Amino acid sequence: MAASLNGHSNGSGHGNGSASSAGAGTADIVARAQALFDDLSFTAARAWKDAGPDRKVVGYMPIYVPREVIHAAGFLPLGILGGGDQLEVIHGDAYYQSYICRIPRSTIELGVSGRLDFVDGMLFPSICDVIRNLSGMWKTMFPNVYVRYFDVPQNYRDDIGGNYYVNELSELMHDLGTLRGRPITDEELRASIAVYNENRRLVRALYDFRAERPWQVPAAEAYLILRAGLVLPVEEHTALIREYLAAAGAEERPKRDNCRVVVTGLFCEQPPLNLIKSLELAGCYVVDDDLLLVTRWLTEDVPLEGNPLQNLALAFLHHSESTAAKYEPNLKEKGQHLVRAVKRSGAEGVIFASPSFCDPALLDRPMLQHVLKDAGIPYIAFKYAENSGQMQPIREQAGTFADSIKLWSGT
Amino acid sequence: MTTIVTPKAAPAKEVVKDDSMVKQKEMMAAHYDRLTSASETGAKVVSTFVPGNLNELIMCFDLLNNLPEVNAIQSGLRRQSGAYVLEAEKIGHSEDVCTYVKSDVGMMAKGNIGPNGKKLPNPDALLLSYTGCFTFMKWFELLREQYKCETIMLHTPYMGDGKITPNMVEYMVKQIKEEVIPKLERISGVKFDIDRLREYLKKSAKAEDDLVHVLKTAKNKPSPIDAYFGGIYYIGPIFGAFRGTEDAIDYYRFLRAECEARLAEGKGPVTPDGDMGKERYRLVVEGPPNYTNFRQFWKMFYDEGAVVVASSYTKVGGVYDLGFRHDPDKPLETLAEYCLGVYTNRSLPMRIEMLANYIDEYQADGLLINSIKSCNSFSAGQLLIMREVEKRTGKPAAFVESDLVDPRYFSAANIKNRLESYFQMIEQRRAGGRAAA
Amino acid sequence: MKTFVGIDLGSTTTKAILLDENRDVIGRGITNSRSNYATAARVASEEARVDGRFTLFRRALTEAEGISVRLDDFLGALERAFRLEQFLEQLDDLQQTCIGLVQGDRFAGRESGVKEALAEVFTRLRAEAPELYAPGAKRKSDFFRDIAGSRYHTQAEEVARDASLPYELLLNVYDKSIIDVENRPPAGGLSEKFRRALARVLEADPQLQSARGDVLPVIERTLAVDLEETYLVGTGYGRVTLPFSKEHIRSEILCHGLGAHMMYPSTRTVLDIGGQDTKGIQVDAQGIVVNFQMNDRCAAGCGRYLGYIADEMNMGLHELGPLAMKSDRPARINSTCTVFAGAELRDRLSLGEKREDILAGLHRAIILRAISIISRSGGVTDEFTFTGGVAKNEAAVRELRKLIKENYGEVTININPESIYTGALGAAEFARRAHSGQIQGVEP
């Protein structure tokens, strides 16, 4: 779940201070993010690559990859999240049966339609069997692209999972160095860690601010701002969030009588933007979610001193988000991240929004629901696909949920 | 001349089994009796999975090995899984997810009665061998929630780059040494003895030799075995609770002799309706079978003279035919390499190569994929596998769909339609090839 | 003469094709599949033989010298008269069956009343029958059940009212009889029916009387030709109980591929979108299937989907295409899931989207699914033949042409108005080839 465990709320810079007076309004900033979101040809990333002769782009899928390593090579990490509801899938369906989720087919569509022809490498994280197998499909279909299935440990001991992960990281670092033609140094990696620490601080600030005043940060805006971070260079994205926070803090927006919810299950295949908007229209302020976890996977700053790979590994083992793709070794801890997210964000309920046929989300769901039940937290659940067209059932369910929470809290 | 006839239903025949099947049935019955009488005998039970099954290690602690996947298969064959799946969906599991899990969860909800009609014991530990299938992890988290027992994670990294690296082996050996073994010692009260493990591993290798010999008899024409429908019986003991036992050595020696005899007599495989007729099609099959309509599915093959000469499903508990053997000289490393090498832990390009090689080596007419709704580990990417194998071998492939243990996903007419078209297509292409030649 | 019969047992209709030794189609027959496949197969092949006779009549009359009748008019009249004879024969059967069922508690004390009423109903039906087959008369269906049923209901209701009998009694005997009658192959000989029909035609048209002497011998000569069923091949969707012995069965996909080849010999790729499934088939220069794929378990995007949409919009199936053609801004429809189709449709209509735009989007969605199935089977190779019910839908065809052009370039696209017979045609050719020993692998 999102946001900081330890209250990193510094640097959010919101309020009515001077920062906002000179900057752009939220509308302009969001419009820029929306344009990046709408662009299925990745024009911005292509432009970035074209700006220098040695520039390379490495794509990655959900749920988490250490973008610091890509950045340290001087490459652009590019988040690939399927095609959304605007991409017409013509060839992608030829590769998948009807009972497999949507994100791999639209991702293949992006690939075979040439939209990713400028991408030099692809990382497929350990999230589920579908994405795992997609790594092999990519190798077969795009033999000229550097492809790696990026495995992460499910053992959290420093000397076991930690060692394994350090070695995985160093293999990745070695490979990307080879791709660049020059090894990546520890110094480069440390510098990149610092840049990403800064970015994560801003992301956490955005989440904190929204939890505090959700009417000031509509869920769809927060999403677009965050999503821009998957295609922009991290430095630009950090600036973008900073700008947005300043603008959002400066604008007073009407507060509605909405209930406050945490939305979970969105960690891989993306919900349509309309779905996110529909939740709010139906009376639910989203105060936390598990969207785009890669932007805040590591929940604390990664130390800069010492061995940078070791530091990344330890951060992964001990200070990273909980999600369905990760094994929870402790039964008592199972699902508690969700309870904590509810408490921290002052939410009144949880919405399970899971992609159809998403094994991790749907297999995890009953366990999380039991935990919420024991904690007395109300919830509802529905499924979506990245191209779901009809929002009426979702608006109805979310609206009913919001009403019932109000009734319930009124008694 | 009139050829329009009104078909008559054939009278039901008694199922024909060869002796090895009878022997195996006895072994399985004895195993289930050991499990269901655990509370009386005081035996402790550990549940684990077929891919990455560490049976030799489990035996070192005098623990009984219970395999929920095999229980789900048994429920499927006995036509109980449909009700179990519905039960699980009733208590909140999505219709989208794996039916092995739901069959297991539903069976627990309905009293956890095993195939022998007696209650299966609650496990003393869950050995979560997370090998080749993401769902395993969630499955045992679900069981842990239910049983509140010790859960031991053994994480097998995926062979994404088509090779086993020293880092992977080291990671796994460390997990086995420092997590799995100490916990099993604690649960069982038995001290680990590496020489005992070596003894079991030696026995495993012996049985594995005979299994490989059996599987390779399918290279003959006609093949004396069916390496998919029959193969599922052949792998039972070695994929389950018998690897490393004398029982398994006896069984595979016996099975090997049986197959040799059939081969010498020029016979084809034994089917539930007796000896198979003339071998007309030789297929390689990718994907698990359907268990709720297992015989009906098989019949669609043997009625047409189609025999499966190699299959990937019979490699989910170990790819022995490509050379791997449990090695007593490096007991922990061999367990790690065993887990790393199972079929579902192999990358897609490795699977493509393996299937294409099978088609060549076993002189098959083509590849048939049975795509299983439940199993993304197998199914995601199969359409590309099909395309690539066709491209590399020049042999036609076909695609049918069903599910492991959910009867709602078995459409007999649909599957039969495709199979018949496929067989006839092979026939015609052969005829065309001859005509052209 | 030798004929080769192909029968395609579909889920709703059964089609038969009669082929001669020169691979020319001489007859087509179609009937509803009903519950009894053996009967459906017999009726369809009988229909094909009837049609075959007409082909032979035409050939013979064309070749014969000094025939002065206008061939099309004459044969048209002869066919209508023949259909009328067939109809009357089945009416007799229906009447006898109905009367036989007038017994038991239900009819106690009213037997004679009901029988009289039935006699009246059938008298009226017979009386109005010629109108049904008059030149230019439109029939909604040519199946006996459909024609007799609606007229029976109308007449029976009136007769019952006039006779103060409960209408249900008349309905009851009809409902019990119709299946039996339908499943009984016509009893009378074909030649006799042709002769009666010819007599009817000659009687009705005084001008023909003069040609009588020329026409009669030609017809009699043709009737004397034995249409020998030399070999029969049947096909049908995965039925476990196709009413043919094993060596006479070929897979429907193979038949479909060969049928498309027969219609267009340069065909390499075939797309068939039927009610229940979608097939992508690749064939070689001999019409032999080299690869095929079908829709997976999910029936989304098959013809049936359009049926749901038509129901949902309260329109006829055939009205969907023309309305969709009016759209110039097709909506992007994301779900081809039949279950969600209704919800998505209502949602969009309530948002004020135009019906034609939504429909155009739905047609595109179906064709997108089809394109992915073709892609699985190996793509599109020139020429391309499109068959099945959806091939009659102009909006679907428009989308298909567009997508094929975008993805595969310029390709010849064939759509045959008789494409419903594609499977049967392939089966008939298999029968011909099997007889001539061309195709191996079929053990006698």
Q: What is the pLDDT of residues C344-358, one digit of tens each?
A: 778 788 878 898 998
Q: How many domains does chain C have?
A: 1
Please report the residues numbered 87 through 106 in chain A whose beta carbons come closer than 8 angstroms to any beta carbon of chain B.
Answer: 94-97, 99-100, 104
Structure confidence at residue C155 (pLDDT): 93
pLDDT given at position A16: 39
CA torsion angle for B264, B265, B268, B272 (degrees, to 10)?
Answer: -120
Q: What is the mean pLDDT of residues C41-60?
A: 92
Does residue C231 lie in a domain region?
no
Collect all residues of chain A within an 8 Å Cβ-Cβ radius of residue C334: 85, 385, 387-389
Burial of A179 (0-12, 13-18, 19+ CB in 10 A): middle
This prediction's pTM: 0.88
Are B413 and C238 in contact (CB < 8 Å)? yes
> d(Cα C104, Cα C173) in Å, to the nearest integer?
12
Range of the domain at B140: 34-436
For B87-122, b where at least 16 C-beta lie within 10 A, e where not — what string? bbbeeebbbbbbbbbbbbbbbbeeebebbbeeebbb
Rounded Cα gap, residues C261 and C285, in angstroms? 8
Confidence at residue B434, expressed as pLDDT on a 0 to 100 scale: 62
B→C interface, C-beta within 8 Å: 1-7, 371, 373, 383, 387, 390, 396, 398-399, 401, 409, 411-418, 420-421, 424-425, 427-432, 434
Q: Is residue C108 part of a domain?
A: no
Q: Do B3 and C42 touch (CB under 8 A)?
A: no
| Alpha helical stretches, state H, A181-307 | 186-212, 219-228, 234-250, 273-281
Q: Between the CA of residue B321 and those of A153, B213, B217, B303, B358, what are the distances in Å?
A: 30, 8, 12, 28, 11
Q: What is the mean predicted confidence (pLDDT) over A153-173?
A: 98
Question: Residue A138 is which amino acid?
Answer: W
**Looking at residues C65-87, what average pLDDT do you find?**
87
Helix, strand, or coil here: C269?
A: strand
Out of A275-284, B260-269, B308-317, C175-184, pick the least confident: C175-184
Residue B251 distance to chain C (closest CA, Å): 38
> Cis ω on the peptide bond leading into residue C383 (within 30° of 0)?
yes
Against chain A, the chains showing at least 3 CB pairs within 8 Å are B, C
CB-CB under 8 Å, B91 with A129: no
Q: Per residue in B138-197, pLDDT tens?
A: 999 999 999 999 999 999 999 999 999 999 999 999 999 999 999 999 999 999 999 999
Q: Is A149 on the interface with B (CB under 8 A)?
A: yes
pLDDT of residue C331: 85
Tell me the pLDDT band of A238, cut-offs 50, 70 and 90: very high
Mean pLDDT of C308-332: 87
Chains that touch C (3 or more CB pairs under 8 A): A, B
Mean pLDDT within C102-127 = 91
Domain count, chain B: 1
Q: How confident is the model at residue C339 (pLDDT cuts 50, 70, 90)?
A: low
* pLDDT score recorded for residue A262: 98
**Running DSSP on this structure, what letter comes out for residue A182?**
S
Chain C interface, best mutation among B417, B421, B426, by max C CB count within 10 A: B421
A331–B148 C-beta distance less than 8 A: yes
On whether residue B27 sits in a domain, the answer given is no
pLDDT reported for residue C333: 77
Q: For chains A and B, what is the number of CB pairs under 8 angstroms?
A: 167
Q: Which amino acid is at C443?
A: E
Is residue A248 one of the residues assigned to a domain? yes
**Sheet holding B306-311: strands in order across?**
B306-311, B281-286, B366-372, B397-402
Quote the CA–CA distance of A38 and A35 in Å, as a whole number: 5
Number of domains within chain A: 1
- Rounded to a whole number of angstroms, the distance from the CA of B402 to the nearest CA of chain C is 8
Average pLDDT over residues B16-25: 88
* Cβ–Cβ below 8 Å for A151 and B179: no
| HSE (side-chain half, CA atoms, 13 Å) at B398 | 25
For residue C375, the chain A residues in CB contact (below 8 A) are 91, 93-94
Is C40 an interface residue toward B (CB < 8 Å)? no
Residue in chain C nearest A384 by alpha carbon? C335
Q: For residue B70, how far is the Cα from the chain centroid?
A: 9
pLDDT confidence bin for C247, thresholds 50/70/90: confident
| Chain A residue with Cα closest to C299 | A98
* Structure ipTM over 0.90, yes or no: yes
For the residues C229-253, what does the mean pLDDT come to? 82
Q: Which residue of C has its CA nearest to B396?
A: C291
Q: CA-CA distance, A298 to A295, in Å (whole number)?
A: 8
State how beta strands C278-283 and C289-294 pair. Answer: antiparallel
pLDDT given at position C245: 81
Whether pLDDT at C335 is above 70? no
Residue-wise pLDDT tens digits, A35-54: 999 999 999 999 999 999 99
Average pLDDT over residues C9-28: 92
Is omega for the bond preceding B222 within 30 degrees of 0, making it cis?
Answer: yes
Determine the Cα–Cα distance for residues C122 and C98; give it in Å rounded to an integer. 10
Average pLDDT for chain B: 94
- For residue C316, what pLDDT is reported? 85
What pLDDT shows up at residue C306? 83
Predicted confidence at residue C297, as pLDDT, reads: 60
Residue B187 is assigned to a structural domain of this protein: yes
**pLDDT value of position B9:** 54
The C-alpha atoms of residue C187 and residue C66 are separated, in whole angstroms, by 36
Average of per-residue pLDDT across A138-151? 98
Chain-centroid distance of CA C362 in Å reads: 26
- The residue with tokens 């099609």 is B281
Q: Which two tokens stand for residue B184?
A: 């099993």
Considering the domain boundaries, does residue C351 fall inside one?
Answer: yes
Rounded to the nearest angstrom, the minimum Cα separation between B356 and chain A is 14
Whether C292 and C304 have beta carbons less than 8 Å apart is answered as no
- Residue B360: CB atoms within 10 A of its CB come to 12
Tell me the shortest Cα–Cα distance from C411 to chain A, in angstroms: 18
Between A148 and A392, the higher pLDDT residue: A148
* pLDDT for the residue C240: 56
Residue among A94, A99, A129 whose CB faces B377 most closely? A129
CATH number of the structural domain spanning residue C391: 3.30.420.40
Comparing C-alpha atoms, which of B315, B48, B258, A100 is closest to residue C297?
A100
Residue A389 at interface with chain C, using a CB cutoff of 8 Å: yes
Residue A5's pLDDT is 36
Lowest mean pLDDT among B190-199, B389-398, C180-189: C180-189
Cβ contacts of residue C8 below 8 Å, gap of 6+? C14, C15, C16, C234, C235, C236, C252, C255, C421, C423, C424, C427
**Is residue A83 within 8 Å of residue A386, measured between CB atoms?**
yes
Q: Specify if A160 maps to a domain.
A: yes
Is residue C238's pLDDT more than 60?
Answer: no
Domain that holds residue A132: 19-410
pLDDT band at A411 (very low <50, low <70, confident <90, very high): low
Q: Across A346-350, A403-407, C298-302, which has the greatest mean pLDDT?
A: A346-350
Interface contact A388-C334, CB threshold 8 A: yes
- Has residue B243 got a pLDDT over 70? yes
User: Chain C residues with CB inside 8 Å of A88's CB?
Assistant: 332, 368
Domain that holds residue C410: 266-415
Q: Do C252 and B7 touch (CB under 8 A)?
A: no
Residue C443, pLDDT score: 34
In the prediction, which pLDDT does C314 show?
85
Decide if B13 contacts B91 (C-beta within 8 A): no
Lowest mean pLDDT of A353-362, A389-398, B71-80, C284-293, name the range: A389-398
pLDDT over 70 (residue B301): yes
Sign of CA pseudo-dihedral C111, C114, C118, C119: positive
* Domain at A361, CATH number: 3.40.50.11900
In sequence order, the β-bridge partners of residue A14 are none
- Residue B350: its chain A contacts at CB < 8 A? 136
Residue of B91, B86, B330 lying closest to B198 (CA atoms): B330
Chain B residues in contact with C10 by the CB 8 A cut-off are none
| pLDDT, position C366 | 87
Q: Which residue of C has its CA nearest to B434?
A: C440
Q: DSSP secondary-structure letter at C27?
A: E
What pLDDT does C348 receive? Answer: 81
Q: Which of chain C's residues have a Cβ under 8 Å away from the Cβ of B430?
A: 440-441
Nearest CA in chain A to C298: A98
Q: Determine contact, residues A283/A399, Cβ cutoff 8 Å.
A: yes
The H-or-E segment that residue C266 falls in is none
Number of H helices, E strands in chain B: 18, 10
Q: Which of B34, B75, B33 is nearest to B58 (CA)?
A: B34
* Residue C370 belongs to some domain of the structure: yes
**Which of A183-197, A257-271, B410-424 shows the lowest mean pLDDT across its residues?**
B410-424
Q: Which of A113-127, B243-257, C140-154, C203-217 has the lowest mean pLDDT?
A: C203-217
* Lowest mean pLDDT segment, chosen from A389-403, B86-100, C113-127: A389-403
Q: What percent of chain B has pLDDT over 90?
A: 90
CA of C302 vs chain B CAs: smallest distance (Å): 15
Split at pLDDT 50, 70, 90, the class of B1 is very low
d(CA B55, CA B64): 9
* A364 part of a folded domain: yes
Any idea what the Cα angle at residue A147 is, between residues A145 and A149, rounded to 5°?
170
Q: Is the pLDDT of residue B15 over 60?
A: yes
Q: Which residue of A has its CA nearest to B172?
A: A160
Nearest to A280 by CA among A215, A344, A231: A215
Residues 6+ apart with CB under 8 A from A27: none
Which of B89, B95, B97, B343 is the best substitution to test chain A (most A C-beta atoms within 10 A)? Answer: B97
Rounded mean pLDDT, C119-123? 94
Helix (H, G, I), strand (E, B) or coil at C82: helix
Alpha helices per DSSP H over B218-280: 231-239, 246-264
Using alpha carbons, list the distances in angstroms from residue A74 to A49, A298, B54, B359, C331.
11, 21, 44, 45, 42
Contact B97 A363 (CB under 8 A): yes
User: Considering only B370-384, B404-418, C136-150, which range has the smallest mean pLDDT?
Assistant: C136-150
Give me the mean pLDDT over the B253-274 stretch: 96
Distance from CA of B418 to the nearest CA of C (A): 8
